[in-house]
Structure 1
Amino acid sequence: MRLLPWTGTDGKPCYLSTDDPDSRLSRLADDVEQAQLASAEQVLAGAEAVLRDPKAGERAVHFALVRALESLGDVLRVAVSRGERLREGDG
């Protein structure tokens, strides 16, 4: 079972049951993970810029923190999913 990089409409994790890493849904999940990681890099750079700016207002800091939290959640889900797949490969 692969933890997918998105949640259901109820906020619960979604899983994919397949042995085919080249299935259409597996490839879509790979693409979404890649996009989430790239987005996290941009969010990190933006948050660093806001925090270095002594003139950054409360709204800018709040926005940077909200985006950083969203990205951290995405990156953690990717890490858990990849860790689970590594363990499955060892078994």
Structure 2
Amino acid sequence: MAEQATQWPERATAEGSRLLPWTTQDGRPCYLSTDGRGYLANLADNIEAVQLGMGEELLEYAREAMAPGTQTRSATEYRWLARRLTEALSDALRVADSRGQRIPDPGEATEDA
């Protein structure tokens, strides 16, 4: 099956489609018509791994910054941290949504067996 990246107007999903870990320039979701193999699917897997890894690192930084007894930071630094945490949470939710959409329905799995 050939891969085909698609921009769908809503949260529509179809058999074989995958929510990608990036959006269009105007913030709309991108989907990939795939069987789970191919260059774009592998690229999406790698980007998801990077996004989750960066989120873990940012969370560790935030925990250290907010720990009792640490040096108080400026309002600018806290705003920066809040923005980055917001971005990381958004990425993590997109990854979870994408992976959740690809979990087979238990009823379908039974019928296939």
* Structure 2: gaps (5+ residues): 1-16, 109-113
Using structure 1 for the length normalisation, give the TM-score.
0.90
1:4–1:14 Cα contact (<8 Å) kept = yes
Using structure 2 for the length normalisation, give the TM-score.
0.73
- Counting matched residue pairs gives 90
Task: State the shift of 1:72 in Å.
Answer: 0.2
Instruction: Tell which deviates more after alignment, 32-41 or 45-54.
Output: 45-54
The alignment yields a C-alpha RMSD, in angstroms, of 1.6
Query: Is residue 22 of structure 1 aligned with residue 37 of structure 2?
Result: yes
Task: State the shift of 1:87 in Å.
Answer: 3.2
Runs of 4+ in 1 over 4 A off after TM superposition: none
User: Which structure: larger Rg?
Assistant: 2
Residue identity opposite 1:9 in structure 2 = Q
Q: CA-to-partner distance for each residue in 1:4-36, whole Å, 9 max, x for gaps?
A: 0011111000000112x1210000000000000
Which structure exhibits the higher relative contact order, with contacts defined as CA atoms closer than 8 Å and separated by 6 or more residues?
1
Aligned to 2:37, what secondary structure does the other structure show?
coil
Alignment identity in percent? 41
Show the counterpart of 1:35: 50
- Decide which structure has greater helix share: 1
Residue identity opposite 1:8 in structure 2 = T
Show the counterpart of 1:69: 86
